[in-house]
Amino acid sequence: MVRSSTVCLQQQHVFAGRGWCVCLQAPIRLIKTTRNVLSVQLTTMSIQTDTTAPSLLPPDEHVLSTLERDGSRRWLKPKLSRGQWLWRRRLAAYALVALFVALPFVKIGSKPFILLDIAERKFTIFGFTFLPTDTVLLALFLVGTILSIFLITALFGRVWCGWGCPQTVYLEFFYRPVERFFDGTAGKGGQPKATRPTWFRMLKYPVYLVLSFLLANLFLSYFVGVNRLWEWMHQSPATHPTPFLVMAFVTIAMMADFTYFREQVCIIMCPYGRFQSVLLDQSSVIVSYDGVDCGLCVATCPTGIDIRKGLQMECINCTQCIDACNQVMSKLGRAPDLIRYSSQKNDRGEPNRIARARVFLYPLLLSGIAGLFFFFLTARQSFNIEVLRDRGNPFTVTEDQKSARNLLLLKLTNRTDEPSTYTLKVLSPPVVELKLSEPEMTLAPGEARTFHVSAVAPLESFRDGRAKLEFEVRNREGVVKPASWTLIGPR
């Protein structure tokens, strides 16, 4: 720049007549040259950055516990850690499976303990049959179930996930033992032995198929009943194609779940784990770590997490890490339970409070819901009625021009366990005549049916084209339910 200024001054003396325009030529050339050089340097730096510079945000070792750094699937082969907690979980799991198998066979009186008959729209739970008209009862039951899960989670953490969930029970105590047998790691777990030939390891899939088929049939028995299922099993699938397709679909779904998705159902698909941030508090039971960094707790975890990193959404409280740590402590001659059931408050040395707001709120809400449930349950009638207007003209005048006819639809629902016959009786005005299109109103147990009723009223019964009809429906047991309807006639 100094040199450019000197040149400019010399040019001013020599070419003074040209003025300041000549003075600017040399600096402008220098600026253009400098700009071109900088452009080339920036382009070179950009190329070097794109090809050699490391990523600004390198990924973690595992994006998820089932995904590698490059996004590929991390197949988990957890080691089996034996101990008192595994023995307790195994006992609970087999008891739950026995209960699952036995429940479709249990009856209370003449009703099954549980039968979810979707085709007939009848749901029998604890021996009580609920119909589609029992929406309030079903809603209260579902809300009560959800609140019960909230309460159990607030008190005991994710005990359901590790001890009672069918996904955990079947995967850890049925499918994984089969896999370990064919992989040569029975009773141990871990990576399969290299000495086992591939064809032998592939034999686990036919066993998986048989297990999935049996579980699918048990699952189907909850919706059709064991008696009907037994009949179908002795018939051709062509006689019942829809249930057969449902069973086949459930079998395929279970195969896909327990052979491919596995722990990903708990980590990715199940919403319950996502709710932990609001369901748990500082006093809830969790699995807490204070170990010696031997790594066995990671190798034995069925969801592939590192418990040393603290409380995590993927932890299902299965206690396998506790058994693994206690084995190590026993060999080292140290005190057990470095990994243990604890709470965040206990880990900080603070007293754990059982009596807290949510522990009181959830039982209070459950008591209110239970009260409403039993109130509506005991207030149910033996039959329901609903009156609707039939399609067509609002009314027609009879041939003798003395009466008007209204066509009605009377929907009856028999809520008893016995067939019942119903009769109609006009209360007001007594001159109205009710005629049934059907010979009689008889319903099977739990049946809902619509009957066509013709209401004929004299013209003098109408005021401004309206007449208030009041009548009653009576069943054979003598239960009476009143009903009313506004008839339409000429003005």
374 in any annotated domain: no
Q: Cα(first)–Cα(last) distance of the chain, in Å?
A: 108
Nearest C-alpha neighbor of 388 from the set 407, 373, 367: 407
- State residue 91's pLDDT score: 96
The pLDDT, as a whole number, for residue 328 is: 92
Phi, psi of 350 (to 5 degrees): -95, 150
* Lowest mean pLDDT, pick from 68-72, 99-103, 257-261, 461-465: 68-72
Which residue from 369, 372, 356, 378 is spatially nearest to 155, judged by alpha carbons? 356
**What is the side-by-side strand order in the sheet with 466-475?**
441-443, 420-428, 466-475, 480-488
72 is a domain residue: no
Rounded to an integer, the average pLDDT of 56-77 is 76
Residue 401 sits in the same domain as residue 358: no
Instruction: Give the model confidence (pLDDT) of 105-123 as tens digits.
Output: 999 888 899 999 888 888 8
Verify that 440 and 480 share a domain, yes or no: yes
| Across 129-146, average pLDDT | 88
Q: Hey, how many other C-beta atoms are within 10 angstroms of the C-beta on 173?
A: 17
Question: Which region among 59-63, 192-196, 342-346 has the lowest average model confidence (pLDDT)?
Answer: 59-63
Per-residue pLDDT, averaged over 288-295, amounts to: 83
**Same domain assignment for residues 429 and 484:** yes
pLDDT in tens, 186-229: 989 999 988 889 999 999 999 999 999 999 999 999 999 998 89
**One-character DSSP codes across 66-101:** TB-TTS-B----PBP--SHHHHHHHHHHHHHHHHHH
Q: What is the pLDDT of residue 59?
A: 59
Contact residues for 484 (Cβ-Cβ < 8 A; gap 6+): 387, 468, 469, 470, 471
Q: How many folded domains does the chain comprise?
A: 3
Res. 25 pLDDT band, cuts 50 70 90: very low
Residue 202 exposure: Cα atoms within 13 Å on the Cβ side = 3
Residue 168 forms part of a structural domain: yes
| Spatial separation of the C-alpha atoms in residues 25 and 43, rounded to whole Å | 28
- The pLDDT of residue 2 is 40
- Higher pLDDT among residues 157 and 291, named by residue: 157
The pLDDT value given to residue 254: 94
**Residue 41, pLDDT above cutoff 80:** no
Whether 302 and 409 share a structural domain: no
Q: Give whole-number Cα distances, 363 to 145, 278, 366, 368, in Å.
A: 12, 17, 5, 9
* 278 or 412, which is more confident: 412
Q: Is the pLDDT of residue 20 over 70?
A: no
Same-domain pairing of 270 and 184:
yes
64 within some domain: no
Whether 48 and 142 share a structural domain: no
Q: Say if residue 30 is in the same domain as residue 173.
A: no
Confidence of residue 361 (pLDDT cuts 50, 70, 90): very high
Task: Kindly state the tokens that stand for 265.
Answer: 């159902």
Task: Identify the pLDDT of residue 417.
Answer: 79
Let me know whether 284 and 345 are in one domain. yes
Q: Report pLDDT for 118.
A: 87
Q: What's the pLDDT band for 40 if we cut at 50, 70, 90?
A: very low
- Where residue 363 falls (left for φ over 0; alpha for ψ -120 to 50; beta otherwise) is alpha
Q: Above pLDDT 90, what percent of the chain?
A: 47
Helix, strand, coil abundance in the chain, percent, nearest 5: 50, 20, 35
Residue 117: phi and psi, rounded to 5, are -85, 90
Mean pLDDT over each residue of the chain, to the nearest integer: 84
Do residues 188 and 322 share a domain?
yes
The stretch 353-367 carries a mean pLDDT of 89
> 430: domain CATH number?
2.60.40.10
Q: Closest Cα partner for 188 from 309, 100, 294, 80?
A: 80
Q: Is the pLDDT of residue 86 over 70?
A: yes
* pTM score: 0.74
Query: For residue 458, what are the contacts with CB-CB under 8 A and spacing of at least 6?
Result: 402, 403, 431
Query: What pLDDT score does 396 carry?
Result: 93
Structure confidence at residue 67 (pLDDT): 85
Range of the domain at 137: 84-202+263-365
Domain annotation covers residue 285: yes
Per the domain annotation, does 446 fall within a domain?
A: yes
Residue 377: its H or E element: helix 357-378
Residue 314 resides in a domain: yes
> Is 76 within the bounds of a domain?
no
Percent of the chain with pLDDT over 70: 87
Tell me what pLDDT residue 49 has: 44
Judge whether residue 351 has pLDDT over 70: yes
